[in-house]
């Protein structure tokens, strides 16, 4: 099975940086995904890591350490539209399991 932990809530100021941590325990590992979900909408894909290190995509970056079972999503130059839930998901052979999500609130 899989156990995925991430903080419940985070608050930050517009223009700032926020880092959302995710720790996981899994019987198999075939990639870690981050999704964004706005209230009342479907999750949308943000990033994918399967090897250790940092993946950068514009204002969003994601880091993975497989030996530590740890990932983080870094959101830079926060904008009001970044207020959403951020979901960490781990894939074993095929199953994509999600953490409970971190609600990020961006304040002006």
Partner 1 sequence: DARVTQTPRHKVTEMGQEVTMRCQPILGHNTVFWYRQTMMQGLELLAYFRNRAPLDDSGMPKDRFSAEMPDATLATLKIQPSEPRDSAVYFCASGWTGPNTEAFFGQGTRLTVV
CB of 108 to partner 1, least distance (A): 27
Rounded Cα–Cα distance for residues 19 and 38 (Å) = 18
CB of 14 to partner 1, least distance (A): 27
**Which of 39, 58, 94, 108 forms a contact with partner 1 (CB under 8 A)?**
94
Retrieve residue 20's tokens: 């959302």
Q: How many residues bind partner 1 (CB under 8 A)?
A: 19
Retrieve residue 31's tokens: 């990639």
- The answer to the question of residue 24 lying near partner 1 (CB under 8 A) is no
Q: Which is nearer to partner 1, 14 or 52 (CB)?
A: 52
Span 26-65, contacts to partner 1 by CB under 8 A: 30-31, 33, 41-45, 48, 50
Rounded Cα–Cα distance for residues 39 and 59 (Å) = 21
Retrieve residue 83's tokens: 């207020």
Q: How far is CA 78 from CA 15, 21, 54, in A?
A: 5, 17, 19
Which positions touch partner 1 (CB under 8 A)? 30-31, 33, 41-45, 48, 50, 87, 94-101
């Amino acid at each position: 099975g899989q156990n995925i932990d991430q903080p419940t809530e985070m608050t930050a100021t517009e223009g700032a940086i926020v880092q959302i941590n995710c720790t996981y325990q899994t019987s198999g590992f075939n990639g870690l995904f981050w999704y964004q979900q706005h209230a009342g909408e479907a999750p949308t894909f943000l990033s994918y890591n399967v090897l250790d290190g940092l993946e950068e995509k514009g204002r969003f970056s994601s880091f993975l350490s497989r030996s530590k079972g740890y990932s983080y999503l870094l959101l830079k130059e926060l904008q009001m539209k970044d207020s959403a839930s951020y979901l960490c998901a781990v894939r074993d052979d095929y199953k994509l399991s999600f953490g409970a999500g971190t609600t990020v609130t961006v304040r002006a």
